[in-house]
Structure 1
C-alpha cells in the first residue's frame, strides 16, 4: 500500500491552513485508489468496516472510493491489500481573519474585450474545476446550474470565505470569462455553468481531488471542462494528465491552462501535458504600458501598475524623490514621484503615506531579484506601480546625485506572447504545447463581491472554453475533435516585430472564434511532432487529416521550409478533398542526425488551400536536448507510519543512476545522501525512506542528480522540509 499525493495549485496561491468543520471535529475524509472493482470494495468495507461512510465510488477515470470516518478507523485501511494509495480530502475550520496577500501575483489593469456574436453558448454545459464559484454574483447566478465540492465533500461549491481560511476568487474569475451574463459579458453568456471545487483555501488541493472532480464532471455530462490549474511536472503520463485523456475519450472537450513558468522552454506542466487536451498559452490583448524615460542616460523602465490604484496618467516630467520603506513621513514629496522599497509595511500603507504627503505618484521597487506585481486593499487617489530591484536601485542612486526628473511615455501593444506563459514542448513524447493561445494578460472578470483584473494562463484557458461553447452551439453535430480542430485550424500565428513566435511558444496561434465558426476546412492533429531522432537517415512519419466541411471541392498543396542539409521532406504534391470528405495526409521527415546540431528543431509547413493558407508547426529533437531530466521531487511523512517518509520524482528519460543529496540551505554544506537508485525508465519514481535514515528536522536543499544512459549527468534543486 502506497501513500503519496501531489499538490496542484492555481497561479494565485496562499498558505494552506488545514482544519476541521466545527460539527464533525473527529471526522476525516480520504480518497483511496483501489485494485479491482471499486463497487465490490465498497461492499467489502460496508460489511467489515461499517463505521466508515462511503461517500462516493469512482469508476470512470480511475478506480477509487471517497470515505469518511474517524482517523483511527481510516488508518486501518492501510492493512488491506486492495488499497493502492490513500489521499486526504482537506477539511477546514475557522482561523483568525487573515488579510488578502499584499503581493497577489498576476495583477494588471485594462481588461480584455470580447466580441459580440450571434451564438452565445446556449444549452452547452461547461464545468469549471477550480476553487469554486460565487454563484450569488449577479453576473453568474443566471448561468449557474450546480456542481460539487470535493474539498468539504458536499453539494455547495462556493469559494473559500475569509472565515474558512485564505479566501479564494480564482474560480469565479474564470467562470466570468467563460459565461458572465450581467454587467459584464463572458465569451458564452448563455452557457450552463457547473462548479467543481477541487482547490480549497489559498487555492491548493491534491491531484486526486482534481481527478475526483474531473470524474464527477464527466458523469454529470459536461460538454466542456476548464482546468486553470496545474503543477510543474513536464511529463505526459502523470496521473492527472492520464485522467484528462480519459475524459476526452468519454467525449468531453478538455481545456487546460499551460502554466505561468515562461518564457523558458520545457516549462509546461501537467495536466496541460495531456496529449488529448487543449493546452492554452497566454497572449496580450490591447495593453498600454507606461514607461519612465531618462533620455540623458538612455534608460527606459517599463512599469507594472498596482491593482486598485488610479491609472498612471503622468503627461509631463516630475521630480523623483526617495521615500525609503514608506513607514515615515516624506516632507519633500508634494507634487513629486516617490520611490519606495518593498517590505516591512503593506503596499497600501506605502501609497497612503505618499498620498498624505501630497505625492503625485509612487514607484515601489522589489527587495529581491526580478520584477513583481501586487495590489492594494484600500482606495487611493494617486497612481502607483512596481519595478524590479535592479531598476529601483538604479533610480535610488540617481536621486542621491541631484534633483532627478522623470518623463513618462506610453507604448500600446497587442497580440504578443505573454512572457509568463509556459512554453513547450512536452518531454518524453515531444508534443508541441500549447496548442493555441488566447488573451491572458490584464483580463477583467467577476470575483466574489465585484470585479478584478488578473493575468495568467488561468485567464487564457476560459477564453478557449467559452469559444468551444459558442462553437458547439453553432455546430451541435461536431465532435470534440472537430471543435478543437476548427479552433486550431483558424488560429492566427503571432509575430513579434518581423519574426514569428516559435511553435512551442504559441502552437497554432491566437484563437479567432469568428473564423472558426465559419470555417470551410477542419485540420485534425495539425501540430506535427516527429519525436526524438536517435539514428542517422531515420525517417519519421506523422499524419494529419483535412476535412472539407464546405459544399465545394478543395485542393491543397504543401510548401516546405527552406532546404536544410540533413533534412528531407516527403509530402504529396497535391491533395484533393471532396465536399464532406476527410482525407488523411502523411508527412515524412528524413533526418541525417550527424549533419544537424543536437537539440530542438522546429518551424512551419504551409498548407496552401483553394481559399486560405494554413501554417502547420513541426518539431523534432535531434538526439538530445536541454530539457529537465527530473521534476516534481516531493518528500512527505507517511500518514499511516510516522517512522517512514514517502518520496516521489518524475524522470523524463531513462536513467542509469538517480541520486538525491541534501544540503544546508544557509551554508550550502553537504549534509547526506538520502537516495541512490540504479537503472530507471521514464516515469514516476517513488518509494519509502525510513525516518531513522534521514537527517534532523529542518529545511534542506535537495540536489537531484540524474545520470543518463549515455553517461551525461544532470542536476536539479528542490526545497524540502523534514518534520
Structure 2
C-alpha cells in the first residue's frame, strides 16, 4: 500500500477522502467510489474511509494513491524589488487569441491592468479551490465566472465584492506567485513587459495559499491538481490550449509515472493543439538528493541533518530496484539505534521511549516496479542529525535514489559532501510529453544557468529540463497586498524556473495561434528547433540542466 495511504488509513470511518486511482480497465470501477475527474484509466475519486481497504484490494484497481502536497516552485528572492509606474500604458484591443491560456497556481489579481482589456477582464473563469463551496461538480471551492469579475471591477471594492482577495496572505507586498507568473505568460503590456500572448483568454485554478515563515506557499495537492487540469481542459472546449504549472516538490521516484504525471501525458496525447509547460524546480543546490550503488551485504551510511529547533515534520523517500531487498538502520546523533528494520515491514521509530516517526517499506510500487521506503518524522525530533544506514540484504541491481521532501518551515538536508545535484527536477515534471523549463541569467553575457535551477536527468535517464529560458530578476505584474483594495501599476521582480516556464508557455501560445491542430510531438519539435545550443567546456554536467539549450524567440516569432 502507498505509504501516504497508510497514514490516512485510520480515523473517522465516515470521513470523505479524496484519492487518485489507476484502473485495470477503463470505465470499470470498484464499488463505493464517486468519480470526479477522469483521464482514461486514471480517475480522481471521493469515498468514505470505511471503504478504503476494499477499494485498494479490488481486482479492478491497479494503483490507489493518497493526495501528495504540491507546493509552488517559489521564486528565489535575490534582493526583490517592487516598482510602481507613474501611469499604465493604454491597451486597446478587440482581438482575442484563438488559443486559451490555462494556469494552476495561486493568487490571481484580476484587478491588475495587465489582465484587463478595454475595461473588461481577460479571465474567463477562476476556480478558487480553497474558497467556500458553491455547489460545483467537484465538491469543493468556488468557481467565479467572467460576468462576476467584470461586475466586481466596476465596484469601489472589487475584492470584497467578489469575495476573493488574491493577496490575502501577502503581508509584505512582494506579490503573489500566480500573478507574477501570469504576467510573464500573457500580460498585455499595460504595466509589465508585453508577453507573446497579450490577447489570450485566461482560465485559472487557484490552489490555495498559506502564510508560512514569511513566504506564500501553495497548499494544493495531486488530487486537486488533477481536478484543476480536468476543469481547464473542459472549459477550453475544443480551442488550442497551453497550461502552465510552476509547481512541484522534491519527492517521488522521478520516473514520470506518478498518477499526476500520467494524467499530464494522457491529456497531451489525446488532445490536439495542447501543451503543458512546467518549471524544472529550484533544487539544484538544495542538498535534498543523493544516490549510489549498494552491494550484497554492504552497509552505506547517509547522514540526515536537521535545522536547529526544527519542529516541523520531515520525510525521506528511498527508491530502489524491485529485484533488490534492502533494510534500514536508523541512528540518532549519539549513535544510539532508533530502528533496526525488517524488509517490507512497517515499524515505529522510538527515541527515549517516545514515538518520533515511522518507517514504511513497500515492495514493487505498481507504477514504477521499484521498492519504496518512506521515513516520516513528526515534530518531536529534537536532534541535529540522524544516520540512515542502508543494508544490502539481497542485491542484483544495487542502484538507489534518496530524496528529502520539501519543507519550507524547516528544510532538512543530506550532508553536503554526499548530496548529488543531478536528478533534482521537481516531483511532478518528469512525464514524457510535458515541456520542462530551467532558468538562466539573461543579463549575463555567458548566459549562465542560474545556480539553483534544477538538474536532470530523470531517474530512468530521460532529458529534463528540455530547454532553458530567462529567469533572473524578471519584472512582471505585482498583485495587491492584503492591505490594498485594488492593484496599482505595480511591478515586482522574482527569479527562478517558475519565471522561465511561463516565458516558454507564451511562445508556445504563438505556435498554436498559427497552427492550432499541432500534436504535442510537433509542438515540441518546433520549440526545441528554436533553441540555441548550449555548450559547457568546464562542466559537462551542466548539460543536464540545459537540455536542447536556450530558447530563441526570434527563431519562432
TM-score (norm 2): 0.53
* 1:178 Cα offset (Å): 0.5
| Pair 1:62 & 2:50 matched | no
Query: Which residue does 1:258 correspond to in 2?
Result: 280
- The structure having more radius of gyration, on CA atoms, is 1
The Cα RMSD (Å) is 4.0
How many residues in Structure 1 have an aligned counterpart in Structure 2?
A: 340
| Pair 1:131 & 2:106 matched | yes
Query: Which residue does 2:242 correspond to in 1?
Result: 224
Q: Is the 8 A contact 1:29 1:89 kept in 2?
A: no
* 1:214 Cα offset (Å): 2.1
Q: Is the 8 A contact 1:60 1:215 kept in 2?
A: no
| Pair 1:424 & 2:456 matched | yes
| Pair 1:194 & 2:173 matched | no
- Mapped to 2, the partners of 1:147 and 1:217 lie a distance apart of 10
Does the C-alpha gap of structure 1 residues 259 and 86 become closer, same or farther in structure 2, counting only changes over 3 Å? closer
Does the C-alpha gap of structure 1 residues 414 and 474 become closer, same or farther in structure 2, counting only changes over 3 Å? farther
| Pair 1:154 & 2:172 matched | no
- Mapped to 1, the partners of 2:142 and 2:431 lie a distance apart of 28
- Mapped to 2, the partners of 1:482 and 1:278 lie a distance apart of 12
Q: Is the 8 A contact 1:37 1:63 kept in 2?
A: no
Does the C-alpha gap of structure 1 residues 493 and 108 become closer, same or farther in structure 2, counting only changes over 3 Å? farther
More strand per residue: 1
* 1:132 Cα offset (Å): 4.5
What are the superposed Cα offsets for residues 384-433 of structure 1, whole Å, 9 maximum, x if unpaired?
xxxxxxxxxxxxxxxxxxxxxxxxxxxx64622111111111112x1122
Query: Which residue does 2:18 correspond to in 1?
Result: 30
* 1:219 Cα offset (Å): 3.0
TM-score (norm 1): 0.42
What are the superposed Cα offsets for residues 417-457 of structure 1, whole Å, 9 maximum, x if unpaired?
111111111112x1122111101111111232243211111
* 1:66 Cα offset (Å): 4.2
Q: 1:207 aligns with which of 222, 227, 236?
A: 222
- Mapped to 2, the partners of 1:204 and 1:56 lie a distance apart of 20
Q: Is the 8 A contact 2:281 2:454 kept in 1?
A: yes
Does the C-alpha gap of structure 1 residues 78 and 433 become closer, same or farther in structure 2, counting only changes over 3 Å? closer
The structure whose RCO (Cα within 8 Å, separation 6+) is larger is 2
Query: Which residue does 1:169 correspond to in 2?
Result: 176
What are the superposed Cα offsets for residues 302-333 of structure 1, whole Å, 9 maximum, x if unpaired?
xxxxxxxxxxxxxxxxxxxxxxxxxxxxxxxx
Query: Which residue does 2:507 correspond to in 1?
Result: 467
Q: Is the 8 A contact 1:207 1:240 kept in 2?
A: yes
- Mapped to 1, the partners of 2:499 and 2:224 lie a distance apart of 22
Q: Is the 8 A contact 1:436 1:506 kept in 2?
A: yes
What are the superposed Cα offsets for residues 215-262 of structure 1, whole Å, 9 maximum, x if unpaired?
322333361111111122432322222222112112321211111112
Q: What are the residue-to-residue correspondences of 1:18-167 with 2, within 5 Å?
A: 30-31=18-19, 33=21, 35=23, 56-60=36-40, 62-66=42-46, 74-78=48-52, 80-81=54-55, 85=64, 87=66, 105-108=76-79, 122-141=97-116, 142-152=121-131, 153-156=140-143, 161-162=167-168
Does the C-alpha gap of structure 1 residues 3 and 436 become closer, same or farther in structure 2, counting only changes over 3 Å? same
Does the C-alpha gap of structure 1 residues 516 and 121 become closer, same or farther in structure 2, counting only changes over 3 Å? farther
- Mapped to 2, the partners of 1:6 and 1:279 lie a distance apart of 32
Query: Which residue does 2:268 correspond to in 1?
Result: 248
* 1:80 Cα offset (Å): 3.9
* 1:166 Cα offset (Å): 11
Q: Is the 8 A contact 2:37 2:226 kept in 1?
A: no
Does the C-alpha gap of structure 1 residues 498 and 27 become closer, same or farther in structure 2, counting only changes over 3 Å? closer
What are the superposed Cα offsets for residues 143-167 of structure 1, whole Å, 9 maximum, x if unpaired?
2111423444234476755379999
Structure 2's unaligned 5+ residue stretches are 8-13, 83-94, 132-139, 145-163, 211-216, 286-420, 481-489
Q: Is the 8 A contact 1:491 1:512 kept in 2?
A: yes
Query: Which residue does 1:183 correspond to in 2?
Result: 191
Q: Is the 8 A contact 1:159 1:171 kept in 2?
A: no
Query: Which residue does 1:442 correspond to in 2?
Result: 473
What are the superposed Cα offsets for residues 619-656 of structure 1, whole Å, 9 maximum, x if unpaired?
xxxxxxxxxxxxxxxxxxxxxxxxxxxxxxxxxxxxxx
Q: Is the 8 A contact 2:245 2:279 kept in 1?
A: yes
- Mapped to 1, the partners of 2:223 and 2:554 lie a distance apart of 37
Q: Is the 8 A contact 1:5 1:208 kept in 2?
A: no
Does the C-alpha gap of structure 1 residues 511 and 150 become closer, same or farther in structure 2, counting only changes over 3 Å? same
Query: Which residue does 1:509 correspond to in 2?
Result: 549
Q: Is the 8 A contact 2:535 2:543 kept in 1?
A: no
* 1:35 Cα offset (Å): 4.9
